[in-house]
Amino acid sequence: MGKSAKSSLELSGTRAVPPEGIAEAVARFEDFLRRRGFKVTRTRLWIAERVLKFPGHFSAADLWGALRDHRVSMATIYQTLELMEQAGLLRRCAFRGIGARYESCLGREHHGHLVCRRCGNIVEFDDGKVEALLVKIAGAHGFRLEETVIQGIGLCAECRRTEGERWVPR
């Protein structure tokens, strides 16, 4: 805990956000809604709590499927996801090939993604070096970077094996 995640495995495997962390984030969300004049509803707060517990990356449809028994409308889900994004609790990643996925910002560092266009598998990696390079390039062009989105699209190791491609692990 608290250490910077180095490997992709650590990043994608550990979602150790303690319950207090989630409760605090839900409180922050409630505060955000109030300050911005949005309605504070039990459904929104309940969805927020569920979302923050959701491991890894998920689509709005995944979330809707997970909450199906609770009769939450897709519109409410989209609205809540967008509000959570505005509140800085959620990040929306527009992945080429597989579409948008969301991920919690709690306890996560900025990271890059490798996206499998075949099975939708997402591998996270520490993008510090790539980002540093981008900052340098931007600087050389007098460009002020506001955001970096680092993603690679291709085939994951599993799909390469399935396709019979010879793959030599490092």
- Coil, strand or helix at 111: coil
The verdict on 116 binding Zn ion (CB under 5 A) reads yes
Q: How far is the CB of 91 from Zn ion (least distance, A)?
A: 7
Among the residue ranges 20-28, 62-70, 128-136, 151-159, the one whose residues contact Zn ion (CB under 5 A): 151-159
The verdict on 159 binding Zn ion (CB under 5 A) reads yes
> 60-64 — which CB contacts under 8 Å span 24+ positions?
60/100, 60/102, 63/102
Partner residues linked to 90 by β-bridges: 104
Phi, psi at residue 137, to the nearest 5°?
A: -60, -45
Among the residue ranges 2-10, 31-39, 76-84, 150-158, the one whose residues contact Zn ion (CB under 5 A): 150-158
Among 48, 72, 90, 156, interactor with Zn ion by CB under 5 A: 156
The verdict on 124 binding Zn ion (CB under 5 A) reads yes
H helices present in the chain, as ranges: 8-13, 19-36, 42-53, 60-66, 74-86, 128-140, 157-162
Among the residue ranges 45-53, 69-77, 110-118, 127-135, the one whose residues contact Zn ion (CB under 5 A): 110-118
The verdict on 103 binding Zn ion (CB under 5 A) reads yes
Classify burial at 103, counting beta carbons within 10 Å of its beta carbon; exposed 0-12, middle 13-18, buried 19 or more: buried
Residues within the interface to Zn ion (CB under 5 A): 103, 116, 118-119, 121, 124, 156, 159
